[in-house]
Amino acid sequence: MVCALEGSMWVGNLEKAARKAAAWLVNKTPIRSLRDWGIAFSLWPVHFTTACCGAEFGASAAPKFDTERFGFLPFIASRQCNVLFIEGTLSKKMAEAAIWVYEQMPDPKFVVAMGACGIDGGIFWNSYNIVRPKDILPVHVYIPGCPPRPEAVAQAIIMLQRKIRKGELVTYEV
């Protein structure tokens, strides 16, 4: 593409150059910290219950523990969410659905695996019908416990926020 600007002539792809400039700018310190700060406080987990840990996940969104104060608002539609919370065991049938949900979510997206089952199968480690989340999804934070207490869920959210604000998880590439 060729552009003429007040007599001088620029040669190159303007759109590509603009995108490159934007990515450069967004990855530069002041804007980057602002961006990561914004992402860290708008973590919306998709409403996707996979097993019994959901009972404690529900309790952590309720008045006593109130994870909403971290900007953590369980939401219905996967296309408007950026956190996938694997609440416990993933059965083979559910794993398929988990991948679909993950693929529908917009970038940047994060995965948290909750419970001993989310780590390595937990009490069901030798069951014929389970899948370990780390085999099918990129998991960022694990929460140990069976079931983890709501405080542990809050701790995991804080850990995820810290990771994001350190700039480890989100990068924009051209």
**Pseudo-torsion of CA 45, 157, 150, 131, nearest 10°?**
60
Decide which of other proteins, ligand SF4, none touches 111; Cβ closer than 5 to 8 Å per partner kind. Answer: none
Helix (H) or strand (E) holding 9: strand 8-11
The amino acid sitting at 132 is R
Q: In whole angstroms, how far apart are CA 42 and each of 3, 11, 16, 75, 95? A: 40, 41, 29, 12, 26
CA gap 14, 114 in Å, rounded: 46
> Which residue lies nearer to other proteins by CB, 40 or 117?
117
What is the smallest separation between the CB atom of 166 and ligand SF4, expressed in angstroms? 28
Instruction: List the one residue from 105, 116, 157, 160 that touches ligand SF4 (CB under 6 A).
Output: 116
Residue numbers 6-45 binding other proteins by CB under 8 A = none
- Residue 52, interface with ligand SF4 (CB under 6 A)? yes
- Residue 143, interface with ligand SF4 (CB under 6 A)? no
Which residues make up the interface to other proteins (CB under 8 A)? 46-56, 58-59, 61-64, 76, 78, 89, 91, 93-94, 97, 100-101, 123-124, 126-130, 146-147, 149
